[in-house]
Every structure is written in structure tokens, then in C-alpha cells.
Structure 1
Amino acid sequence: MRRDLYSRLVIACAILLSVLLTGLGIVLGQFFPLFIDDINLHLHRKYWIYLIMTLLIAFVLSLFMAARMMLQYARPIDKVTRIAIQLAQGDYLARAQTDDPEYDTELAVAINKIASNLQEMSTLRIMEKERLKTLIESMGSGLLMFGREGAVNLVNRVFEKTFGFSKEEILGKTFKDLELPPAIEKLIEDVFMTEQVHAKQVRIDAGGTLYYMSVYGAPVIGLHGNWLGIVVVMHDITELVHLEEVRKDFVANVSHELRTPVTSIKGFTETLLDGAMNEPEVLKDFLEIIQKESDRLHLLIDDLLELSGMEREGFSLQYAFINVKEVMDDALKITSGNFERKGISLVLEIQGDLIIEADADRLIQVMVNLLSNAINYSKEQTKVIISGTKSGSNVAIDVTDEGIGIEQSQLPRLFERFYRVDRARSRDSGGTGLGLAIVKHLIEAHGGTIDVESTIGVGTTFRIQLPIRKKI
């Protein structure tokens, strides 16, 4: 553009100079030939001097006008051209000058408008890209996207963490190269082949740990119906599956625990009605059994109602500053008869100045449950130790017995509802299988924790950690 402009200006100067020379030639040709012979040599030389001076002045004026035109028109266009080149290179902050009247042209204004629009579009694109990235990385599910060629072009951090891959390892690879679990590979292949949505639940064994994944695969179709690839979303439903299993076990256990006493009561009642009530000794024995089963049924229903109440949203504790030793003394008064009946000695190692903010009645309930377990699963003439110490901002309470112990494989399930280490012995001891579940709920409601350690034939230790002050 600059070369074309310069060429036009030079041509204009040449035309102007030619016009001047032609005009001078015409004038000289019309007026001076008639008198050439009469003019002396001196006048002839003077005439040529004037002619040359006039031509020089005309040439200088032409150059000045050409330079002025170049400054007025060529330089602003050069500036605007440089701005356009910067925009083409991605510098959307570049602007042409418009505050100087020399540059206030329609071209400069148009260039600035284009630059402003490009900057807004670039900013919007960056914001949308950042939002999309944040959304993908913040998903709780693993995301995997394949392009139309079948290669991975998008993956999020959850997928990398779940399957132990890094983004650099899997980008650009096909699903066959990733060595995913066979069920997931089959789903991806079905989506590619049928171009239809597919979903299934997959069980994954990762190093001995079972995971359950809900895998959803769908084709990605553009606005104009063109095939762009597929997207696969994998959601970890292990906790949901576990809760469903717990629910099923709970229903089955409740049905079983209720059926046993009800069946027993019904059977003995029918026997009595069939004529056994006419025998006083048999009547007394059967009524005692019916009473025992009724008490057990009542206890079971009470525990179920209490556990249900703890899980409700409105459940709250009555906090107050209490002495831990006084709580232990109250719990021992309730269980002292059972200790004496089995000849089990008690060792209390608790400092008298342990004061915590808690619900005294609920802590007594916790200790009664733990002490009852220690008594039921301990042999006669053994020992139970209760110790309490301050540990930083917490109080640690240990209940240790010398009972039969619990296998290590059973410890993780010990606080589940109705879980029994020894079902026959637990039922004979009058337990409902809900005691430890209630204990865990109460301790967690206080903001504490409870753990268990046990050795077969040696004994079991329940360790409670409670905060000294109420957690807000």
C-alpha cells in the first residue's frame, strides 16, 4: 500500500512539473520568436537566467507539495498498517491514534473498533475456557472424552486419581491403549459402535479394594449433527452400594431379631392353650420364658427407637461441665451387680480433676454399654480396667477387659447394627446387637471418636477420645 501511494505521489509531482514546463514553453513560443532577432546577446542571456530560476522555483514548490502530501496521507496509513499487523499477530491491546486530527480518519476508527471487538471476544473466550476447566476439574466424577478419531483429548483430575494415570500418559491414546477394566472398555466400544447412550454399574478390584462405579457413555454431536466423539463419566458409588447393603442387612437383622422372640412367645402360648396351662409347673416355666422373650422384645424395640432418634436431624445433647470420675461412678453403680455375680474385679484409674463439657446421661449410657459388653464376654474371676487421662484438648477413656477377644477381621464391622461376634452367646446374654452402634452414635455426637483393639484370648480395649470443650 505504501509503495502504491508513493508511486502516485511521484507521478503527480512529475505531471505537475511537466505542466509547468509545457506552459512556459508555450508562452515563450508565442511571444519571444518575433523579437529574437532584435534582442541583443545580453538580453538573451538574462532571459535564460530568468527561465532557469523560474523552473527551479517551480521544481522546489513541487517537491514541497509532494512532501506535504506524503506527510499528510502516507504516515497515518503507515501507522494504521502497523496496528493492523499487531492485531493479526494477536496483540488485541494495540490501538491507532485518534486524538490527533491528523490520525482521526475513518480507517483508524474502524481499526480501533475491530481491535476492541477482538479484545472482548478474546477475554470472553478465556473466561469461558477457565469456567469449563474449573467445572471439569471440580466434578466429583471421573471424566474422559474421546475425539472423532477415537483418541483421548480431555480428562479430569478425578479420573487420574481413580485409575492412577497422569494426563500426559493418556492424552492422544485410544481406549484400547489405556488398559481400563474390561467392563468399561466394552461400554466405550458399544458407544462408538452404536452411537447410542450406554450406562452400567461396574465393580472394580484395585489392589484388593472393591470399588463400585456408575459409568455413563454418550456420543457428542455438534450443532449441525456432525459426530465429534464420545464422553464417558464415571461416578464412584461405593458408599451408596455399601449403604444399600447396610440397609438390606438392617432389614434382614431386624426381621430376624423380632421373629425369634415373637415365634417363641407364639409357640409357648399355643402350647399353653393346648392344655399345658393345666399343669402348674409347666405353666410357670412357660410364663417365665414368655416374660423373658417379652423383655427382650421390649429392649430391642427401645434400642431401635433410641437409635432412630439419634439419627434424626433434631437430635441434640444436653451439654454441661461434668466430672468424668463421677460419671464412671454412676455407671458402675448400675453394673455393680453383674460384676459381683461373675466375680470380676474392677480397677478405676481416673484422675479426679478431669472436667469436660458433655451430656452426663448420655456418657453414662455409653459406659454402661461398654461395661456390660466387658462383663458378658469376660470369664469369671478376671479384671476390667477403666482409665482416663488428659491428652491435649481431649480426654482419653479406655475400657480394657480380659475376655475372649475379637478377631482382627471382625473389628471393622463391630459398630454395625445387629453385628454379633458370637451370635449364640450374644443372644444368651440378652444383648440386642445395637449397643455398640448406639455408643458410636453418642460419641460422634459429642465430636469424639471410638476405636477398638483386641487380641484373641487376651482381651479387648475400647478407647474413647472426647473433646474437653464442646465443638461449635
Structure 2
Amino acid sequence: MSSLRHRLLITLLVWIGLMLAALFIIVLQLLPLYENATDKTDIWLILFVSFVVVMILSAIVGSRVIDVAIKPIENATETAMELVKGNYLARASESNAEKTVELSRTINILARNLQEITAIRVMEQERLKTLIENMGSALIMIDKQGAVSLVNKPFLEEFGLTPESVMGKFYKEIQVPSVVEGFIETVFMTETLARVQIEFVSGIKLKNFTVYGAPVIGDHQRWLGIVIVFQEITELKRLEQIRKDFVANVSHELRTPVTSIKGFSETLLDGAYQDTNTLLSFLEIIYTESNRLEMLINDLLELSKVEQNGFRVNAHPTDMEAIIKRAIEMIQSKITEKFIHVKLEIQPVLVLGDPNRLIQVMVNLLINAVTYSSSQTVITIRLLVEDNQAIIQVVDQGIGIEETEIERLFERFYRVDRARSRNSGGTGLGLSIVKHLIEAHHGRVEVDSTVGIGTTFTIYLPLAD
């Protein structure tokens, strides 16, 4: 802009010089007329007036030149400088000069386009930020110098870090498990796609992750760094282990009675049937094992049914006291066999439930209490209302449960004392069925136990209106 001003100033000076030169030539032409005159005041007056006229004309022309040529260009230049600084709201004034109006309009169009592009970019950045923060998987991005350039909230929470301790740091300086650091280094050094499953101890828990690592490639195939994504699969691993345990337990539980039935049947076929006492003894064993096999199959079918999505109970106002007494009657023989006393602390309560399913729940809880209780002990059943819900408690004086085992108590086939429950004819599925049935009633079940003292199962059910 200064060079433009200089060129215009030089042009103006040249124009003034030409005007003065023309004036000088005019004076030279007039001098012969006045060379004999004694009074030359007129000639000097003419010269002065001419000089003033030239200067006024020069000022008018210069001012016009500046208004038409320089000011629009200066305004356009200032607008362009604002755009360079990132102020896309700046606009150039559009003058009426034909030479500069196109420049001003072009700069304004450029400004509007830059403003729209910036708005779109900000919106996309916000979307990307929201996506990264809420993607559920931990993510970290490392630039080509090895410094952390991006990290999301799940990553910080998973490894107990803060943004200040991670952003801009070299990836070996951040406090992550060694197996994670090793994977990051492998991807960073090889610049290739990688996927592994890793596990490490976080606090007191063992966690499993599927980790993806990939190079970040920019324009013209330039390597910009790497991105690492962590997807937690701890729960999937746990469910997979439960599935494996379930298959192994089902196989074992089915094999035992089938082996017994087959073995005793072969013995009878080999001639043992001729001995009446042996025949009756073996038939009784076969009958017992057949009943056990039937119970296992029925419980498996029942558990499969209640675990299905969309399973519903036929809930309506139900007298819970009658349910409890009916369940006691159904297992009275087992209670009498061990000389156990059942103590009732019951108040009349109507619950919203399915009578048949609630009897099934109470029978399973009572059988569990009898199985793990010694002879001549007491089982207490309480029924009360608290906080607008029905509470049923089954309290035994059995062997109790270790605190570490309580969370696994409702797993299929899980037994606290395997020998005792198997000898009693249990299938190991009763408590799993109880849990699913209570949840189908929109209730919950809790366990409180002390080893050597006993166990308390507490059920919470909604009251009937």
C-alpha cells in the first residue's frame, strides 16, 4: 500500500511539474510584451494567480485520485488483513469506482465463504469431540513426535489420569500398565495396524480389553501419528466363562445319573436280577437317579423359560401368608426328616404376584435352607411391610457363606458345599430360578450371611394396590 501511495505521489508531482512547466512557457511567451514596460507588477500578479490556480487544481485532482484509487484499496487491504487474522466478520466497503468495486465485492464474497467454512468446521469439530467423548471406548492419539495430542474422558477414567498429566506428554511418560505401553510402542514403531487382547489388574479387579492400534495418514500419504482404541470386554469374558462352566456342569450333572443308571442296568442284565435283594436295591438306585435326572431336566427347562426375553408372570393380588404356609407343607417331609423347627413371624400382606411362581420361589429357598442346616436347628420365616413394599426373609442356622462367594450364589450350578447339595438331590439351579422369578415380579433378592452362624435371604416385592 505504501508503494502505491508513493507511485501516486510521484505521479501527482509529475503532473504539478508539467503544469508549472506549462505556466513557465506561457510566461516566456508573455515576456516580450512586457520587456519595455516600466511597471512589471502585472506580470508578477499573473504569475502568482497562475501558480495558485495550478496548486488548487493539483489539490482537487490529488484529492480525487486518493478518493477514487487509494481509499478503496486501503479499505480492501485492511479487510484482507483482518481475514488473515481470522476475523471472518470483516467486510470491505463497496465504492462506486468501477476499478475497485469488483475487488471489494470479491473480498466480501471470500469473507462470507470463509465464515461459512469456519462455521461448518466448528460444528464438525464439536460433533467429533462429542463423538469421541461419548463413544464408550477409551481413545488416545499420539503424534509423529510421540506426544499425546488427543485423549478422551473414558481413557482418563479407566487409567485414573488427568488431562494435565497426559496432554503433550511423551507416551512413555504417562502412567499406564506396562502391557499397554508395550502395545503403543509396537504400533508407533511399526506404523502398522494391530489388534490384541490384553488383561491387567486395575485396583483389585482383573480387566480385559480388546485394543486396536492404527497409523493416522494425512494428505499425500504423510504419517501423522497413531490412534489407539480400548474396548473393555471384561463382562464378555465373565459371561464366556459362565457359559463354559455351565456346559461343563450340565455335562457332569447329566453324566452322573446316566452312568449310574447304565451301570446298574448292565449289572442286572449280567445276572444280578436273579438275586431279589440285589434287584430291589439296584432298582431303587435306578429310580432315584431317574428322579434326579428328571429334576435336572425340569430345572433346566424352567431356567431357560424364565431367562427368555419377554418372560412375564401372571401377577395379581396374592396372600403371601398363604403362599408361605403352602410351601412349608410341600417340603414338610424334608423338614421333619432333619427335626428342624420352622418359626413364623408373619403379618397379613397382599403382594402383586403370581401365586404359582411365588410358591416355587419359597419352596426353593426353604429347600436351600434345609439342605445347608444341621439337624434340630431353627428356620425363621418373616413377612412384613416396610417402605411400601413387602419383605420376606428366610433365616437359617446353617453353615453360612463366605463373603467372596455371595456374588456368585445365583450363578447356575454354583454350590457352596458341593458334596452336601449333591447328596441331598439338589441340581444347583434353584437360586438362579429364584433370582429370575423375583426380578420378573419387579422385586429383588439380597443375601446376608456369616460363616458358622447362618444365612438370611431377603426378598422385596411390590404390594398389591
The aligned residue for residue 73 of structure 1 is 69
What TM-score results when the alignment is normalised by the length of structure 2? 0.91
Classify 1:189/1:28 alpha carbon distance in 2 versus 1 (closer, same or farther; 3 Å).
Answer: closer
CA drift at 1:191: 2.8
2: CA distance, partners of 1:306 / 1:429: 20
CA distance in 2, matches of 1:325, 1:65: 112
Pick from 361, 374, 378 the counterpart of residue 369 of structure 2: 374
Change (3 A) 1:275 1:348: same
Residue correspondence of structure 1 range 84-233 to structure 2 within 5 A: 84-98=80-94, 101=96, 105-233=101-229
CA distance in 2, matches of 1:196, 1:246: 35
Secondary structure of the corresponding residue to residue 83 of structure 2: helix
Q: Is the 8 A contact 2:91 2:108 kept in 1?
A: yes
CA distance in 1, matches of 2:192, 2:38: 110
Superposition map of 1:159-308 within 5 A: 159-308=155-304
**Shift of residue 366, structure 1, vs aligned partner:** 0.8
Question: 1:421 corresponds to which letter in structure 2?
Answer: V
In structure 2, stretches of 5+ residues that fail to align are: none
Partner of 2:316: 320
Bigger mean CA deviation after superposition, 221-230 or 431-440: 221-230
Residue aligning to 1:427 = 422
Aligned partners of 2:390 and 2:165: how far apart in 1? 49
Pair 1:311 & 2:311 matched: no
**Kindly tell me: are residues 213 and 25 of structure 1, through their superposed partners in 2, closer, same or farther at Cα, counting changes over 3 Å?**
closer
- 2:147 is matched by which residue type in structure 1? A
The AA in structure 1 aligned to 2:80 is A
Q: Which residue of 1 aligns with 2:454?
A: 459
Q: Which AA in structure 2 matches 1:227?
A: W
Does 2:348 align with 1:360?
no
Paired residues in the alignment total 464
Check whether the contact 1:198–1:216 (CA below 8 A) recurs between aligned residues. yes
Q: Counterpart of 2:335 in structure 1: which amino acid?
A: F
> Is the partner of 2:331 in helix, strand or coil?
helix
**Residues 109 and 322 of structure 1: is their aligned pair in 2 closer, same or farther, counting only changes over 3 Å?**
same
Q: Would you say the 8 A contact 1:187–1:199 is kept in 2?
A: no
Distance 2:404 2:34 in 1: 137
For 1:333-412, what aligned pairs fall within 5 Å after superposition?
333-352=329-348, 354-412=349-407
More off after superposition, 360-369 vs 207-216: 207-216
Separation (CA, whole Å) in 2 of partners of 1:159 and 1:442: 38
SS of the residue 2:192 aligns to: coil
CA distance in 1, matches of 2:452, 2:336: 22
Provide the residue aligned with 1:440 in structure 2: 435
The one-letter code matched in structure 2 to 1:213 is F
TM-score of the superposed pair, with normalisation by structure 1: 0.90
Aligned amino acid, residue 225 of structure 2: G
Instruction: Give 1:456 deviation, angstroms.
Output: 2.3
Equivalent position amino acid for 1:324 in 2: M
Alignment check: 8 A CA contact 1:451 1:462 kept: yes
Q: Which runs of 4+ in 1 moved over 6 A?
A: none
RMSD: 2.6
Q: Aligned in 2, Cα 1:188/1:66: closer, same or farther, shift over 3 Å?
A: closer
Q: For residue 33 of structure 1, what is the aligned residue in structure 2?
A: 32
After TM superposition, give the deviation of residue 427 of structure 1 in Å.
1.5
2:400, 2:452 within 8 Å by CA — same for their partners in 1?
A: yes
Q: 1:223 to 1:52 in 2, by over 3 A?
A: closer
- 2:59 maps to what in 1? 63
Q: Distance in 1 between matches of 2:34 and 2:188?
A: 104
Residues in 1 aligned to 2:408 and 2:49: alpha-carbon distance in whole angstroms: 117
**Deviation by residue 1:201-224 (Cα, 9 ceiling, x = unmatched):** 222123332112222333333443
CA positional deviation for 1:124: 2.6
1-structure distance, mates of 2:160, 2:464? 41
2:248 alignment partner, SS class = helix
Secondary structure (helix, strand or coil) at the match of 1:365 reads helix
How far did 1:226 drift? 3.1
**SS class of match (1:415):** coil
SS of aligned partner of 1:268: helix
Task: Tell me the secondary structure at the aligned position of residue 111 of structure 1.
Answer: helix
Q: Which range is displaced more, 384-393 or 285-294?
A: 384-393
Unaligned runs of 5+ in 1: none
Q: Are 2:416 and 1:417 equivalent residues in the alignment?
A: no
User: 2:172 aligns to what SS in structure 1?
Assistant: helix
Amino acid at match of 2:176: L
> Counterpart amino acid of 2:371?
N
Secondary structure in 2 matching 1:398: strand
Moved more, 27-36 or 161-170: 27-36
Distance 1:459 1:20, change over 3 A: closer
SS at match of 2:309: coil
Per-residue CA deviations over 1:134-184 (Å, capped at 9, x if unaligned) read 222223222223222223222222222222122221233334333533333
SS of residue paired to 1:122: helix
Distance 1:460 1:30, change over 3 A: closer
Task: Between 284-293 and 25-34, report the one with greater CA deviation.
Answer: 25-34
Report the Cα distance in structure 2 between the residues aligned to 1:75 and 1:96, rounded to whole angstroms: 11
Q: Distance in 2 between matches of 1:137 and 1:116?
A: 31
Aligned-pair CA distance for 1:400: 0.7
CA gap 1:311/1:53 in 2 versus in 1, 3 angstroms:
same
Q: What is the alpha-carbon distance in structure 1 between the residues aligned to residue 97 and residue 389 of structure 2?
A: 80
C-alpha separation in 1, matches of 2:155 and 2:57? 78
SS of residue matched to 1:224: helix
Question: Is the CA contact 2:136–2:154 (under 8 Å) kept in the aligned structure 1?
Answer: yes
Kept in 1: contact 2:137–2:154 (CA 8 A): yes
The CA deviation at 1:255 is: 0.7
Contact 1:13 1:63 in 2 (8 A): no
**Worse-superposed segment, 424-433 or 130-139:** 130-139
Distance 1:89 1:226, change over 3 A: closer
Where 1:178 maps in the other structure, the secondary structure is: coil
Residues 133 and 152, structure 2, Cα contact 8 Å, conserved in 1: yes
Quick check: 1:331–1:368 contact (8 Å CA) kept in 2? yes
